[in-house]
A and B are shown apart, each in its own frame.
Chain A
Amino acid sequence: MKEFITFIQQLINGLSLGSVYALMALGYTMVYGIAKMLNFAHGDIIMVGAYTVSIVCSIAGFSPMAAVLASIVVCTALGVTIEKIAYKPLRNASPLAVLITAIGVSYFLQSVALLIFGSKARKVQSVLNLESVKIGGVDLSGVALVIIFITILIMILLTLFIKCTKVGKAMLAVSEDRGAAQLMGINVNATISMTFAIGSALAAIAGVLFVSSYGYVDPYTGALPGIKTFVAAVIGGIGSIPGAMFGGIVLGIIESLSKAYISTDLADAIVFGVLIVVLLFKPAGMLGKKKITKV
């Protein structure tokens, strides 16, 4: 019985970690689906969001809610600026060039953060202060439950936004066929900027939730989660919103179970191993559509 309770607790931990991954993966998958590029700097936007929260909370002494809003504003502005300066000039360049630029942007953000804040980890006050709940002997952390709830809420809102609004439909059109969308009078550049704005705002929220459960931030906070998030998006099938959600949660559960039962050191190796296996058998991901190349 005791083992069962630990298992359930690990499962809930995994679900909460997975929800954060899912939030980040939503941003990745939207940008990939619409701009057809891998935004390597997505993880580092999360880091910037976390630093913003930490600074606003400690220096300015604002309330946590104000800090969250500030972080969303900063990240959105940053995401759109990066898109304008670094990615927009390469709209028709080879995918390799865009990918390398994105890696450059990621390193740029990391090294700027390193120069400003130093390599020492900085403490972040948790935005969420909640008691844990006990249900049938299982200790459920309040933060974990709130994270899961927020993620589900955001996913529903995002799906509604894309299905029901004009901007959302424009995004779908651009992701299906950029040229045809342009002919129909859709402003492709504005749509792509909008995608970056939404993706970065989601990254900001994910960043806040991520550091709420970890409690500190350093310049490399975003790097590995950023990569793992991409893994989540790929496992779920990149470009698909339910896929990102599914992939994120699967990844979170795998990671937390392997940390608990196999080895902390090997958890990352297992995550990437799963990615390679999934891609070998389903190159388009679990929920992705298979693309046929026409000659």
Chain B
Amino acid sequence: MENKKSILFAIIAIVIFIALFTLVEMGLLSRQYMGLLVPICVNIILAVSLNLIVGFLGELSLGHAGFMSIGAYAGCLFTVYANLPPFIEIPLALIIGGLVAALFGFIIGIPALRLRGDYLAIVTLGFGEIVRSVLNSLKIVGGSGGLKGINSGMHKSDYYIVAYIVVIITILVISNFINSRHGRAVKAIRDNVIAAESVGINVVYYKILGFVIAAFFAGMAGVLYGHNIGILKPATFDFNKSIEILVMVIMGSMGNIPGSIIAAIILTVLPEALRFLQDYRMLIYAVALILIMLFSSNPTLIEFRKKIFGKKEKGGK
């Protein structure tokens, strides 16, 4: 079963890659959609990594943009100062960004041991705000004016391939992690901490591990983002960015990785396609968040949903 799944995954990944590659090479994609390829990759990585914390670890993190910005600044500072050939520089920058973000994931994971739920959510939120205001006042990284002159040194179409490879690695690592012994331990902690602890699961270790892995990939996403856009501003990585990632995870349904991927793609492409609804974007997100939560958690509404979609849901299971 597991083997079949991984073969299927490999086939899908290769087919999508070939399809995208031919589209890009033959110039069939409009400029507008070409420009969306890297943001889609970045958002998929962010959503999948946040899903590890929210969906599988069962803790709400409101500071994912903080990890992303730390990774972005670390990786981009490296490429600005190191002048290596791009094919060595970019992978190194990705790893550096990921590692620095992971270090902060570890630091945030420590309060996560003593705190749960709402308290932890506020600590992660506070962490995001701290990162933003510190970056704002640091002169080395350009302060609020931003870090300028970031250049991947690669041809655009090569950079797409790099981004695509990072996405595949992220999905592979996180979905394998979740289906492994460690992942089952993480899910056990989510479902019942006390029960998990009493069967000998090391809660401390797994909670920190979850935060570290998620932060690592968020940092890589930040590096990808920075080299694509060329300038990093602290204001980009505010609370709204964290919420945007959270909306992707919730819309794709918590604890569901393919869901996160699809939601990330839709929520990146849709705002471009529906430019005329730009002003209503946040309103639509807000209403969607409330409705999804009501329909998935209220007993009467669950019944109502089952009446309408009853057959489909039964068929699915």
Cβ-defined contact, B283 with A275, below 8 A: no
Q: Is B3 an interface residue (CB 8 A)?
A: no
Instruction: Select one of A100, A265, A267 contacting B293, CB under 8 A.
Output: A100
A36 to chain B, nearest CB (A): 9
Instruction: Contacts A107-B243, A108-B290 given; indicate if A99 touches B121 (C-beta within 8 A).
Output: yes
Q: Collect the chain B residues with CB atoms within 8 Å of residue A275's CB.
A: 122-123, 126
- Tell me if B137 counts as interface (CB < 8 A to partner A): yes
- Among A47-55, A179-187, A209-217, A276-284, which stretch is in contact with chain B? A276-284
In the bound complex, how far is the Cα of B293 from the Cα of A108, in angstroms? 14
B60 x A100 contact (CB < 8 A): yes
Interface flags for A273-295 (1: CB within 8 Å of B; 0: not) read: 10110011001000000000101
Q: Which residue of A is nearest B108, CB measured?
A: A276
Docked-complex contact A263 and B122, CB < 8 angstroms: no
- The CA-CA distance from A112 to B284 in the complex, in Å, is 10
On whether the beta carbons of A104 and B287 are closer than 8 Å, the reply is yes
The answer to whether B285 touches A89, judged by C-beta atoms less than 8 angstroms apart, is no
**Most B CB atoms within 10 A — which of A32, A227, A293?**
A227
User: When the two chains form the complex, which single residue of B127, B279, B289, B296 contacts A107, counting CB atoms closer than 8 Å?
Assistant: B289
| A residues near B311, Cβ cutoff 8 Å | none
- Interface size counted on chain A using CB atoms at 8 A: 46
Residue A61 at the B interface, CB < 8 A?
no
A110: CB under 8 A from chain B?
A: yes
Q: Is the CB of B279 within 8 A of A279?
A: no
Tell me the residues in window 231-269 of chain A with beta carbons closer than 8 Å to chain B beta carbons.
Answer: 231, 234, 263, 265-269
B2 CB to closest chain A CB, in angstroms?
A: 29
Q: Contact check: which of B60, B254, B293 meets A104 at CB < 8 Å?
A: B293
Query: For residues 238 through 288 of chain B, which have their beta carbon under 8 Å from a beta carbon of chain A?
Result: 239, 243, 246, 250, 254, 279-280, 282-283, 285-288
* Residues on A with beta carbons closer than 8 Å to the beta carbon of B280: 111, 115
A8 at the interface (CB under 8 A from B): no
Q: How far is the CA of A234 from the CA of B299 in the complex (A)?
A: 31
Within 8 A of B (CB), among A87-130: 89-90, 92-101, 103-108, 110-112, 114-115
Instruction: Give the most central of A114, A231, A276: most B CB within 10 Å.
Output: A276
Least distance between A105 CB and chain B CB atoms (Å)? 6
Assuming the contacts A268-B133, A272-B126, A293-B194, asked whether A103 and B119 have C-beta atoms less than 8 A apart, the reply is: no
> Are the C-beta atoms of A269 and B133 separated by less than 8 Å?
yes
Q: Is the CB of B283 within 8 A of A108?
A: yes
Whether A97 pairs with B137 at a CB distance below 8 angstroms is no
Known contacts A100-B289, A115-B283, A272-B130; decide if A279 and B111 are in contact (CB<8 Å). yes
**Contact A90 B298, beta carbon cutoff 8 Å:** yes
- Determine whether B175 belongs to the interface, using a CB cutoff of 8 Å to chain A: no
Q: Is A38 an interface residue (CB 8 A)?
A: yes
Chain A residues contacting B126 (CB-CB under 8 Å) are 231, 272-273, 275-276
A104 touches B289 (CB 8 A): yes
Q: Which residues of chain B have C-beta atoms less than 8 A from A223's C-beta?
A: 239
A231 to B126, CA, bound (A): 9
* A266 engages B127 (CB within 8 Å): no
B28 interface residue (CB < 8 Å to A): no
- By a beta-carbon cutoff of 8 Å, the part of chain A in contact with chain B is 32, 38, 86, 89-90, 92-101, 103-108, 110-112, 114-115, 223, 227, 230-231, 234, 263, 265-269, 272-273, 275-276, 279-280, 283, 293, 295
Q: Give 10 new A-B contacts, CB below 8 A, not counting A32-B118, A104-B289, A111-B280.
A: A86-B294, A89-B298, A94-B297, A96-B60, A97-B293, A99-B121, A101-B289, A104-B285, A263-B137, A273-B130
**8 A-B pairs, CB-CB below 8 angstroms?**
A38-B118, A89-B294, A93-B293, A111-B282, A227-B239, A269-B133, A272-B126, A272-B127
